[in-house]
């Protein structure tokens, strides 16, 4: 079993993810081998008072990039959109972004 800090790597800060905060949808970059159940338990343990209702995951491919004549791909990653229950407490980190 992995530690919650090894599953939830960092929050995703973008225009689209910040719009979801008002609907209690929070976006995180997560470990590639983590499943939905592990992600939900990790969020509940890292942020006390939260109740996870639903978890959606996406596998994002790395983009093709060029730097002069050198070419390659950026690393691929996994992203999770966590929906909290109505009676759940919010995550304070994202509230400061609004």
Residue 77 falls inside a structural domain: yes
Cα–Cα distance between 48 and 76 in angstroms, integer? 30
Cα–Cα distance between 27 and 47 in angstroms, integer? 14
What number is the average pLDDT over the span 33-49?
Answer: 96
Distances in Å between the Cα of 25 and the Cα atoms of 5, 41, 61, 84 are: 20, 16, 22, 7
Residue 92 falls inside a structural domain: no
Confidence of residue 29 (pLDDT cuts 50, 70, 90): very high
pLDDT in tens, 50-89: 999 999 999 999 999 999 999 999 999 999 999 999 999 9
Residue 93 falls inside a structural domain: no
Residue 29 falls inside a structural domain: yes
CATH number for the domain spanning 45: value is 3.30.70.330
pTM, entire model = 0.90
Residue 95 falls inside a structural domain: no
Confidence of residue 41 (pLDDT cuts 50, 70, 90): very high
Confidence of residue 95 (pLDDT cuts 50, 70, 90): confident
Residue 94 falls inside a structural domain: no
- Give the domain range for residue 62: 4-85
């Amino acid at each position: 079993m992995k530690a919650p800090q090894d599953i939830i790597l960092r929050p995703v800060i973008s225009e689209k993810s910040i719009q979801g905060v008002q609907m209690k949808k929070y976006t995180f970059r997560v470990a590639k081998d983590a499943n939905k159940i592990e992600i939900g338990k990790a969020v509940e343990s890292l942020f006390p008072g939260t109740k996870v209702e639903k978890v959606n995951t996406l596998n994002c491919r790395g983009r093709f990039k060029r730097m002069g004549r050198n070419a390659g791909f950026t690393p691929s990653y996994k992203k999770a959109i966590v929906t909290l229950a109505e009676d759940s407490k919010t995550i304070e980190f994202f509230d400061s972004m609004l």
